[in-house]
Chains A and B, each alone.
Chain A
Amino acid sequence: MSKIHVSTTVNGDAVEFLADPRDTLLDCLRDQLGLTGTKEGCGTGDCGACSVQLDGVLVCSCLVLGAEAEGKTVATVEGLSTGPDLHPLQRKFIEHAALQCGFCTPGILVAANALLAQNPDPTETEVRYWLAGNLCRCTGYDKIIRAVMDAGAEMRGVN
């Protein structure tokens, strides 16, 4: 089966890879580009662990074909921090102990970052609905919501 040559931009870097037509963007990120921060949970778009931004839109990378990334811009959890400096969301997740096993965390960080970019001051209800597609089986969500709210406040310069 012939592979498809894909040129795309991931976290600001131009990258190229060869994708089997059936490979998802998630497969390509992890197996071709070595970006294993993005996790595979369900593989069917239910759990959100594979969340990335594709041309600025929050998507499940398991529901996007690698070939569809041609010419597009992909943002993964690896692009959140600046050098050694963690993103405010990442720091607040640590401060609030908003993770236990951590498997859902990259997807939630990416999803929360997309929310705060378009709504810097969300209500708790807005955060909960926005993250409804990110399943966490450890925390019970409360600490995650608090961490996102707190990160939003810091990014707005409130505290």
Chain B
Amino acid sequence: MRFHTPKTFEQAATIAAGASGLTRFLAGGTDVLVQLRAAIVTPDDLIDLKHIPGVKDISRTAEGGWRIGIAVSGAELGRHTGVCADWPGVVEGMQLVGSTQVQGRATLVGNLCNGSPAADSVPGMMAAGAMVSVIGPQGSRAVAVEDIPAGPSRTTLLPGEVITAIVLPPRGAHGGDAYLRFIPRTEMDIAVVGVAVNLRRDGARITEARIALGAVGPKVMLAPAAAQAIMGTTLDEAALAALSAAAIAASTPISDKRGTATFRKDIVGVLVQRAARIAYARAEGASA
């Protein structure tokens, strides 16, 4: 295994594109090193991205959103008052990943690229409408987070492509988001179901909504019908019932050791209502 420490993303992409064997990018390492040790994935070329300037930075975009570097850890994200104020649902999803020790290293991009259907940070990013910047042999492109997962442990990124940053859109007025997951204990577990809701209000009425579901299908996915169910409503009982039914209908879970498909469908219907209530309350408190 060759260990590379490129100083630019262009160099990183060039190394990856020119590699003949298996390549892995190293950010926080909390998945790559586990796979390496278990001999699930033994890369021929391991490309450490943490020597690239700016990968630890969180900065305002010109539009008023946030640009988050690929090596920003969960702990660092949680300490950033600006992102926490604008996108609490994104932050609370990321902060559910692993222990204190894992939070010191784990990253949003790593969680996304690991491709787990149960990734806790991904529903929040999808619901927020986050984009990733990608660089590769064909040049640069911006991709919506929902277009990255392709299935369990698979992404749509092409050989030689590497994500260079995550971009959260401007929060804007009267918006709120939230992420909830179900686990059978209080900490240190993998989501049985995860739900993120992001919405905007005009007075009591919901004018925009995006809902993403985790661990109830082969990949984290948007549920447009669930979002549609609360559009134009005041999140009254009828809207919540429609929301629950739409989220259940959108789910195609498997049964495994963490829960049966039936159980997961029940839970997604409950969690989506709770997350919507939290996002709705946060939107009321949010000013700009």
Contact = CB atoms under 8 A, between A and B. Distances in A.
A133 B33 contact: no
B1 A63 contact: no
B99 A24 contact: no
Query: Which secondary structure dominates where chain A touches chain B?
Result: mixed
B1 A111 contact: no
A57 B78 CA distance: 14
A132 interface: yes
Contacts of B75: 57
A149 B144 CA distance: 46
B188 interface: yes
Interface string B14-43: 000000000000101110011011100010
A4 B33 CA distance: 17
A35 interface: no
Interface residues of B, number: 27
Nearest to A50: B101
Contacts of B37: 24, 43-44, 62
B46 A21 contact: yes
Given A129-B187, A133-B98, A67 B105 contact: no
Contacts of A60: 101-102, 105
Nearest to A133: B99
B101 A133 contact: yes
Contacts of B105: 57, 59-60, 63-64
Contacts of B73: 57
A64 B117 CA distance: 25
A117 interface: no
Q: What range describes how many residues of A lie at the interface?
A: 20 to 34
A68 interface: yes
Contacts of B284: none
A115 B75 CA distance: 13
Contacts of A68: 26, 29, 48, 50
B46 A51 contact: no
B3 interface: yes
Given A43-B37, A57-B75, A62-B33, A22 B101 contact: no
Contacts of A45: 30, 33-34, 98-99, 101-102
Interface in B33-81: 33-34, 36-38, 42, 46, 48, 50, 73, 75
Contacts of B101: 45, 48, 51, 58-60, 63, 111, 133
B2 interface: yes
Most-contacted residue by chain A among B3, B28, B104, B187 (CB, 10 A): B104
A129 B185 CA distance: 12
B153 interface: no
Interface of A: 1, 4, 21-22, 24, 43-46, 48, 51, 54, 57-60, 62-65, 67-68, 111, 114-115, 129-134
26 contacts: A4-B3, A21-B1, A22-B36, A24-B33, A24-B37, A44-B37, A45-B30, A45-B99, A46-B99, A57-B75, A58-B100, A58-B104, A62-B33, A62-B37, A63-B29, A63-B102, A64-B33, A65-B48, A67-B48, A68-B29, A111-B101, A131-B100, A132-B99, A133-B99, A133-B100, A133-B102
